[in-house]
Amino acid sequence: MHPLLRTFLLRLCAVTLPLALPAGAAGQNMADHQYSTADIEAGARVYVADCALCHGANGDGVDGVNLRIGRFRTVRSDDDLRRVVTTGIGGSRMPSFDLGTGELDGIVAYIRAGFDPSGVAVKVGDPARGQAIFESEGRCVGCHRVNGVGGRRLAPDLGEIGVTRTAAALQRTILDPSTALLPINRPIRAVTRNGETVRGRRLNEDTYTVQLIDAEGGLRSLVKAELAEYEVSLTPTMRPTTLSADQVADVIGYLLSLRGLP
């Protein structure tokens, strides 16, 4: 078979082959990981009645806090939000509120939805628990690094992921990686003319060359004219998670806390 025809067929397979899911991973419902529209709408009513006087219509009425974009002084998780609302903050203008469970969930949902009643409010758990899951049963450190520490560079460093990704984007990546794979991070398979097979994660590519991180974590630069085969896959190496909804929320809380080195 002509090398160019073989390369074309390999690329076609990379696009059309279905994603192989581990047992239990395909049944995750996105709604299990976020608040409902009814929660968000209920929270909007609570906010207008009890919160807008001090925090303002856009959530930026208190110095150092912007509820709409998720900027807080001490809050990191949804439980932190509930605690601040129910107990207040001593020595400040933030009083305590006696809200029912539905109202409390609603105000958290409204804040997490960015004040958009038709938006998506992803549940955000505890960052400390999320870090433990990330480093253990989540098996994330096998591929990812955090500020240069961790896996084998098979996946992007997540040290600043909390700055560049929203909770909704992180949730989508964890639950359905194939919908969130950036072109620059797509897996590559190349075969050199001497028969060496190179697999890795694409870092950069132009008309003549491609740079990638190989399976051993090494940086490789390949000249395309010297390759017998070259394939860029649309199927991510990351698989949908089998973690529970609460565990996913905790991992999202941890990832949102990653904002680069101080």
Phi, psi of 45 (to 5 degrees): -65, -40
**Is 5 contained in some domain?**
no
**Is 37 contained in some domain?**
yes
The reply to whether 118 and 40 lie within a common domain is yes
**Is 21 contained in some domain?**
no
CATH number at 94 reads 1.10.760.10
Instruction: Find tokens 């129910």 and name the residue.
Output: 86
Instruction: Count the domains in the chain.
Output: 2
The reply to whether 195 and 118 lie within a common domain is no
pLDDT digits (tens, 9 = 90+) for 83-102: 999 999 988 889 999 999 99
> Of the segments 11-20, 37-46, 136-145, which one has the largest average pLDDT value?
37-46
Q: Please report which confidence band the pLDDT of residue 25 belongs to, taking 50, 70 and 90 as the band edges.
A: very low
The full DSSP string for 102-161 is: HHHHHHHHHHHTTT-TTS-EE----HHHHHHHHHTTT--TTT-EETTEES-SSS---TTH
Strand (E) or helix (H) holding 204? strand 197-205
Structural domain for 208, as ranges: 183-232
Q: Which residues, 6+ apart, have CB-to-CB distance to 235 below 8 Å?
A: 14, 17, 19, 178, 187
pLDDT of residue 156: 85
pLDDT of residue 4: 40
Domain end point (choices 122, 140, 161) = 122
Domain end point (choices 122, 149, 168) = 122
Model confidence, pTM? 0.79
**Is 14 contained in some domain?**
no
**Is 43 contained in some domain?**
yes
